[in-house]
Amino acid sequence: MKFDLTILMYIIPSVIMFCCGVYGFITRKNMIAILISLELMLNAVDINFVVFNRYLFPGQMEGMMFSLFAIAIAAGETALAIAIVINVYRVVKNVDIRELTKMKF
Amino acid sequence: MESVGNIIMYFIIALAIIVFSVLTVTSRKILRSAVYLLFTLFATAGIYFQLDYEFLGTVQIAVYAGGIVVLIVFAILLTHKPGERAERLTSHKRFMGLTAALAGILVCGYALVNFASNAASELSKNFSCDIRGIGNALLSTDKFGYLLPFEAVSILLLACIIGGVVIARKR
């Protein structure tokens, strides 16, 4: 039996992961759950960069480098977002986005 | 033609990614959803290892699984009572979310199936991504050098540290 792992077979899980992230981003009410959905989307995009790099341009490493920098930026972004969530919790006493109606307290 | 072990490993990883990402966004307990996110990130690292990007897989495990998920779990434990469940979704909200997600899958799936006829199907053999090459590329100023983004990321991380302290401190 001839069975090859084509580029499509790596992209499809990544598409599903991204759309799960979109679903969570729209439906969730909790700020931390929204952050988790955002991480899913970022991660799916990283997979795409790496897979296209490996299959289409195997001699270069631009895609891998882009993923590397995206991971670093995601780490910084998460740290800041969690600082904001904790600050919001201190003021409003929960992290529900429906309670957040004012920008400045 | 890949080896059988490779194919079995691929199916395990793909199934883990799909199942755990669906569970991440549908679980009503927030701590569980963070743990499912951890499993998804591990499966992603598995994909990187399978495509021979060992360094990237290691970075994925170290930064995402070791840093980001721990940070998220800390934030959850600081802001939630244990065992708290999210309330059920209204059907309107769920409909909106499902519509957006399914439309995304359909559009991307259509584009991908059209693209698949001329897609590359073989992993090329002349591939080398050793750690020495990555290190040289990160610190070189030549055509394929990444010294400027490297330094920009270091400034960005410094700004994130200062911003995090300023935002989260007690007034």
The DSSP secondary structure of B28-97, one letter per residue, reads SBHHHHHHHHHHHHHHHHHHHHHTT-HHHHHHIIIIIIIIIHHHHHHHHHHHS-TT-BPPPPPHHHHHHH
The CA dihedral of B160, B165, B168, B170, to the nearest 10 degrees, is: -170
pLDDT given for residue B56 in this prediction: 92
Question: What CA–CA distance (Å, rounded) separates B60 from A43?
Answer: 10
Which of B18, B122, B167 comes nearest A87 by C-beta?
B167
Name the minimum distance, in Å, from the CA of A21 to any CA of chain B: 7
Check pLDDT > 60 for residue A105.
no
Domain B1-85 has CATH 3.30.460.80: no
**Record: contact B127-A50, CB cut-off 8 A:** no
**Record: contact A33-B86, CB cut-off 8 A:** yes
pTM of the model: 0.90
**Record: contact B104-A7, CB cut-off 8 A:** no
Query: Domain limits at A21?
Result: 9-95
The SS3 of residue A96 is strand
pLDDT given for residue B119 in this prediction: 65
Interface mutation vs chain A, best among B51, B90, B115, B148, most A CBs within 10 Å: B51
Question: What CA–CA distance (Å, rounded) separates B90 from B42?
Answer: 32
Question: What CA–CA distance (Å, rounded) separates B60 from A102?
Answer: 36
Name which of A51-60, A68-77, B46-55 the model is least confident about. Answer: A51-60
**Record: contact B72-A21, CB cut-off 8 A:** no
| Tokens found for residue A45 | 């995009």
ipTM of the complex: 0.91
Name the minimum distance, in Å, from the CA of B136 to any CA of chain A: 12
Q: Which of B33, B67, B32 is nearest to A20 (CA)?
A: B33
Specify the DSSP element, H or E, that contains B6.
helix B4-26
Which of B52, B59, B104 comes nearest A22 by C-beta?
B104
Please write the tens of the pLDDT for every residue from B17-37. 999 999 999 988 999 999 999
- Looking at residue A55, which CATH number applies to its domain? 1.10.287.3510
- State the average pLDDT over residues A94-99: 83
Asked if A34 has any chain B CB less than 8 Å from its own CB, the reply is no
Give, rounded to a whole angstrom, the gap between the first and last alpha carbons of chain A: 66
Please write the tens of the pLDDT for every residue from B122-152. 776 667 778 888 888 889 888 888 999 999 9
Which of B34, B48, B146 comes nearest A50 by C-beta?
B48
**Record: contact B98-A15, CB cut-off 8 A:** no
Domain residue ranges in chain B: 1-85, 130-171
Look at residue A3 and tell me if it is in a domain: no
Arithmetic mean of pLDDT over chain B: 87
- State the average pLDDT over residues B61-80: 91
Look at residue A105 and tell me if it is in a domain: no
Look at residue A24 and tell me if it is in a domain: yes
The SS3 of residue A30 is strand
Question: What CA–CA distance (Å, rounded) separates B96 from B15?
Answer: 26
The values of phi and psi at residue A101, to 5°, are -110, -10
pLDDT given for residue B40 in this prediction: 95
Which of B25, B102, B109 comes nearest A37 by C-beta?
B25
Asked if A65 has any chain B CB less than 8 Å from its own CB, the reply is yes
Which of A16, A71, A84 comes nearest B63 by C-beta?
A71
Q: Which residues in chain A touch residue B153, judged by CB atoms under 8 angstroms apart?
A: 69, 72-73
Total count of domains within chain A: 1
DSSP A59: T
